[in-house]
A and B are shown apart, each in its own frame.
Chain A
Amino acid sequence: MNASHSKLRAFALLALLAFATATGQARTITLKPEAVDAFAALSESHPRSGWAAQQVDPSLFISNPPIGGASTSYLVRYSFDQIPKGNRITHAEWVIPAGPPTACTVTVWRVLAEWGIGVCHQFRMVHPKRLEWSVPGARGRSVDRATKPTGSGKFEPGALQVTVNVTQDVELWHGGAAPNRGWLLTFDGPCILASPTHAGRQQWQLRVTYEPE
């Protein structure tokens, strides 16, 4: 074996080592609005509408911007297709943006009941079957939503983003221990949110860190 072969072999070993190290390291990805695969409004004032929950006048409701409140909550579900199989979740945090002049607390709940087409305050789905929430607005603890909230945060005039640690929920879903039925967001007062599909500066972000199992 000559010297050039030895150098080549050493380089190949180094490259292999670097590759192995790199693939063994944790990676963080940010799931942006395009990863939101389902969204719905649950509003007591219009119990059949799953979109337009903002009442402008007695006969008109609009959908944008989403405005949460004591009687209006939202369902949001992400697709985790971007996270490769064979990895485990080590950390996940959800950045929820709001618009001024918001000052309210948002609480994030893991949803337990399946929901789909026609979801609204009254129903969790209408097609292919008409199924109601156990308590309208997905309020049934341990049935519609988890017993305890995943987390919460307070929007304030100087802090228009709330970051909630959602590691346990994402780990449950990604690992297959529970089906991914998204989160329910409830509010203690009026709360103007950014649209979940808005891709501009104030956008919803779910940062997920994972590493090989």
Chain B
Amino acid sequence: MIPLALWLAAVAVCSAASPREFEVTPTPLAEPPAFITQVVVPNALCAAVSEAASLLVVGQRSTNDQHLAVFRLGANGLPTGEPTRLALPKPAVLAKEANYPLGLLFHPRLPVLYVWQDITAPPQDRQEKHAAFTNWLDFEHLLIYAVKPTGLELVETAAHGVGFHCGLTGGTVGLDAAGKTLFLPNSIGATYDEAGLAYYALDGQGLPVDSDEADSGKVRAKPGKEKLGTTRFARTVVALQRKRTHRYYPSGAGWFAGSEAMVMGGYSGCMSADFQRGGLRQSWFSTLEHVGHCVLAGHPQQPALYLAMQNTPRLFQLAHADGFVSLLPQVATAKGAQLVGAPVVLTQQARVAVGAAKSLCLFGLEADGRLDGKVDQLALPSASVRAMAYAEKRGRLYVAVDRAN
């Protein structure tokens, strides 16, 4: 017989809406759920999936210039064989430095993949004043690949030079709701430790245009392959817009495109950014009682955002309307978990997946996107589970692991 107190507690848990702040011990999962597909890509940092192109791309730290693992997916959504490997370009003068991908993003309508990369660099403190930093001025953070039947083809590089900080471990790119503006992280702010953000207007092919072309509506010809050796084309044509954020690096720690404002994860919170009188207006929401780097994701169907505070057990759920953050957040503490990387919303499973040290946490969701107070945890063969991507139509979560189970 169930003791009365236990029964009452169970009824309370089942009937009451989950509280605004709660602590929960994750329930260990003995077996991986069927909706999870593991791919072996050691030291993986980021991933993206295109259901239209049936491609899964995983970015990894690599000592032998194999930064991207490109998997072809079959009709059932499973990888069909070994991946194709791609190296990310860097200037010859930086041959001894390790570059690595931090963010991957498929354009939702165009056959284009955006890659944000970074590279080991002089010390973070006053980096841009460092004498050796001149060698880094030709490093291009943004790489744009055309998605072709034969694979990925590099068609443009951009975001280089004194405008961007190097050597960071966070920050990625994001597209606005119209898919016409590409937001970039980690541009240099007004002080040595302040992150900025940047953005490009995109043309009809998903490539950055300069401001004059954007104003006149002209679409220029795609650069020839011969231009890519030096990247001068991108450097001279593209006009970058940059803004301060008044926050520490990294900026652009996850993006969500609301219908009227863009939301960006950052230090101790997130920022809504909307264009107002021609300028980008920023509104910061702070996590108030908790401090740390936060990575953001948004629910594609519900008015809900998720902020994973890095290397802590805390996940915040915030409401938003059209991209403007609203009301007080829910704060979940998953005891024992050290969350890393970006949350991934699993719409078909009503969960949010967040990577952690040697495991994956699955936070349960209510129908409206709020956290329901339940967390499952799956042990995985990875030092740190960071690279995940979700195929929404197939309802499949791809997780990169260091080795096979």
Q: Could you tell me which A residues sit within 8 Å of B by CB distance?
A: 34, 36-40, 46, 48-52, 56, 58-64, 116-120, 123, 125-127, 195, 197-199
Determine the residue in chain B with the shortest Cβ distance to A60: B282
Q: Known pairs A63-B286, A127-B321, A197-B288; list 11 more (Cβ under 8 Å).
A: A49-B325, A51-B285, A59-B280, A60-B281, A60-B282, A62-B284, A63-B283, A118-B319, A118-B320, A118-B322, A118-B324
B326 x A51 contact (CB < 8 A):
yes
Given A50-B325, A50-B326, A120-B324, A64:B289 Cβ within 8 A? no
Query: Are B279 and A62 in contact, with the CB atoms below 8 A?
Result: no
Residue of B nearest to A35 (CB): B20
In the complex, whether B90 has a CB less than 8 A from a CB of chain A is: no
Bound together, the chains give a CA A62 to CA B20 distance in angstroms of: 22
| Proximity bits, B292-304, A CB within 8 Å = 1, else 0 | 0000000000010
B366 at the interface (CB under 8 A from A): no
Once the chains are docked, how many angstroms separate the CA of A52 from the CA of B303?
A: 18
Instruction: Please name 18 pairs of A and B residues whose Cβ atoms are closer than 8 Å in the assembled complex, sorted by A.
Output: A49-B272, A49-B325, A50-B326, A51-B285, A52-B283, A59-B282, A60-B281, A60-B283, A60-B284, A61-B282, A62-B284, A63-B286, A116-B327, A118-B319, A118-B320, A118-B324, A119-B326, A127-B321
Q: Which of B256-295 contact A (CB under 8 A)?
A: 260-261, 269, 272, 274, 276, 279-286, 288-289
Q: Report the bound CA distance from A126 to B319 in whole Å.
A: 11
Size class of the B contact interface (CB-based, 8 Å):
20 to 34
CB <8 Å contact, B243 and A59: yes
- Are A51 and B322 closer than 8 Å at their CB atoms? no
- A48 and B21 in contact, given A60-B282, A63-B284 (Cβ under 8 angstroms): no
For A125, list chain B residues within 8 Å (CB): 321
- Given A60-B246, A197-B288, residue A48 in contact with residue B282 (CB < 8 A): no
A51→B283 contact, CB < 8 A: yes
**B246, B260, B269, B326: which has the most chain A beta carbons within 10 Å?**
B326
Scan B127-169; emit 1 where CB is below 8 A from any A CB, else 0.
Answer: 0000000000000000000000000000000000000000000
User: Do B21 and A34 have beta carbons less than 8 Å apart?
Assistant: yes
Total cross-chain contacts (CB, 8 A): 101
The answer to whether A198 touches B288 (Cβ under 8 A) is yes
Chain B residues positioned under 8 Å from A64 (CB to CB): 286, 288
Given A36-B328, A50-B327, A195-B288 contact (CB < 8 Å): yes
State how many angstroms separate the Cβ of A83 from the closest Cβ of chain B: 15
CB closest residue in chain B, given A123:
B321
**A117 and B288 within 8 A (CB):** no
Q: A199 touching B289 by the CB < 8 A rule?
A: yes
User: If A39-B327, A48-B274 touch, does A127 touch B20 (CB 8 Å cutoff)?
Assistant: no
Task: Please report whether the interface of chain A is mostly helix, strand, loop or mixed according to DSSP.
Answer: loop
Whether B285 contacts A117 by the Cβ 8 Å rule is no
Q: Does B107 contact A (CB under 8 A)?
A: no
Contact residues in B for A123 (Cβ distance below 8 Å): 321
Q: Check A52/B289 contact, CB under 8 A, given A119-B326, A127-B303.
A: no
Contacts of B303 in A (CB 8 A): 117-118, 126-127
Which of A34, A49, A195 is B324 in contact with, Cβ under 8 Å? A49
The closest CB in chain B to the CB of A79 belongs to B20
**B374 within 8 Å of A (CB atoms):** no
Q: Which residues of B contact A34 (CB under 8 A)?
A: 20-21
User: Is residue B244 contacting chain A, with contact meaning CB distance below 8 A?
Assistant: yes
- Given A62-B284, A118-B303, also A52-B327 (CB < 8 A): no
Please tell me if the beta carbons of B244 and A60 are within 8 angstroms of each other in the complex: yes
Interfacial chain A residues near B286, Cβ < 8 Å? 62-64
**B328: which A residues are within 8 A, CB to CB?**
36-39, 197
Most chain A CB inside 10 Å of its own CB: which residue of B280, B288, B303: B288
Hey, which chain A residues are within 8 Å of B326, CB to CB?
40, 50-51, 117-120, 126
Q: How far is the CB of B70 from chain A (nearest CB, A)?
A: 38
- Given A34-B21, A63-B285, A199-B289, also A50-B324 (CB < 8 A): yes
A59 CB to nearest chain B CB (Å): 5
Tell me, rounded to whole Å, the shortest Cβ–Cβ distance linking A195 to chain B.
6
CB-based contact B283/A61 at 8 Å = yes
Chain B residues in 8 Å Cβ range of A118? 303, 319-322, 324, 326
A38 to B328, CA, bound (A): 6
Chain A residue nearest in CB terms to B276:
A59
CB-based nearest B residue for A195: B288
